[in-house]
Homo-oligomer: A and B are copies of this chain.
Amino acid sequence: MVKDISTLMGYRKDIRVVDATLRDGGLVNDFYFTDDFVRALYQTNVKAGVDYMEFGYKASKEMFDVDKFGKWKFCNDDDIREIVGDNNTDLKISVMADVGRCDYKTDIIDKKDSPIDLIRVATYLNTIPTAVDMIEDASNKGYSTSCNIMAISNGQEEDIKVALDILGQTPVDIFYIVDSYGALYPEQIARIADLYLNFAAKFGKKVGIHAHNNQQLAFANTIEAVGDGVDWLDGTYLAMGRGAGNCAMELLLGFLRNPKYNVYPAIKFVEQYMSKLKDEGIVWGYDLQYLMTGLLNQHPRTAIQFTKDGRTDYSEFYKEVVAHD
């Protein structure tokens, strides 16, 4: 039951930290980050030793009005280039591509012409075939790829196994555990990590985790996963992300033992940039409405609406979300 003590003193060189602030945080402010913010974030990630910075989504401009969102919902290669130049750093760049909401055949260009290194394909269990097509498309264009299977806390274990078996036979590099609803406890993460790691070992893949903080477990679930052998870890500064937010980058960098990671630039960035977003009235993070949807293993959309409506009648909301009629 007690894990090898070395996991808290030593470190695994294979660990990769992914900053998802612009991408998951963009869901909170419709991706309206200033260029100054994005540049400072980029510099912070470089200084902090973060391995990947996710700039946002490659969202379809057919489906979404470019005038109604900040540019990081679309992540034009030129916009990224504007921030990173030739990106002569150790920091690599990722974007997320949602199944059914991305014109990947046209909008994702050849890697040799793009500043992007990694395409993270986000899918539900019932859209795996399209995810496979997206992975193959991106891989053929020269990118590394991950597959982030969302909402697995509502999925059947047998379906997850079938999905991992299908994905194992693609060029995808990383299977991502995604606790979309913030519903999972560390014990469950341990079991899921075990399942993912078995398939990963069979097919020569890596495993990652993206957690949500509905039950104040995003960091705990992430470090549970580290202890279990999961290598790719998502974090966001000040835990900025949809609803209850994510695993806080500053907690994660404080925890990791590899000397390449530095928590000080993260603290500085939170102080100078993230606190300001909060002061400007952008709302995210743990609150009781998110606890409730997490506890009930529901999509947080009702809790997000509760927040947007400025409601504080938690007990009424509880009655709404437990109602099955």
| Inter-chain contacts of A188 with B (CB < 8 A) | 8
User: Interface digits, A231-262 against B, CB 8 Å rule (1 contact, 0 not)?
Assistant: 00000000000000000101100110000000
| Interface hub of A216, A218, A228, A295 (most chain B Cβ within 10 A) | A216
User: Interface digits, A202-230 against B, CB 8 Å rule (1 contact, 0 not)?
Assistant: 00000000000101111111011001100
Q: How far is the CB of A194 from chain B (nearest CB, A)?
A: 6
A254 touches B215 (CB 8 A): yes
Q: How far is the CB of A276 from chain B (nearest CB, A)?
A: 10
- Chain A interface main SS type: helix
| Interface hub of A215, A217, A224, A267 (most chain B Cβ within 10 A) | A267
Cα–Cα, bound, A207→B1 (Å)? 18
What is the interface size of chain A, counting residues whose CB is below 8 A from a CB of the partner?
46
| Inter-chain contacts of A271 with B (CB < 8 A) | 288, 312-315
| Inter-chain contacts of A295 with B (CB < 8 A) | 254, 263
Q: When A191-B5, A291-B250 are in contact, do A220 and B313 touch as well, CB less than 8 Å?
A: no
Q: When A216-B251, A288-B250 are in contact, do A186 and B270 touch as well, CB less than 8 Å?
A: no
Given B1, B221, B254, which contacts A3 in the complex, CB threshold below 8 Å?
Answer: B1
Q: When A255-B185, A275-B312, A315-B264 are in contact, do A1 and B190 touch as well, CB less than 8 Å?
A: yes
| Inter-chain contacts of A270 with B (CB < 8 A) | 288, 314
Chain A positions 261-287 with a Cβ under 8 Å from a chain B Cβ = 263-264, 267-268, 270-271, 275
CB-nearest residue of chain B relative to A272? B315
A133 CB-CB contact with B under 8 Å: no
B8 touches A318 (CB 8 A): no
Q: Residues on A close to B: CB < 8 A?
A: 1-3, 5, 7-8, 185-188, 190-191, 194, 213, 215-221, 223-224, 227-228, 248, 250-251, 254-255, 263-264, 267-268, 270-271, 275, 288, 291-292, 295, 312-315, 318
Q: Please, could you name 12 A-B residue pairs with CB atoms under 8 Å apart, sorted by A? A: A1-B190, A2-B187, A2-B190, A5-B187, A186-B224, A216-B218, A216-B220, A220-B220, A251-B291, A267-B288, A270-B314, A271-B313
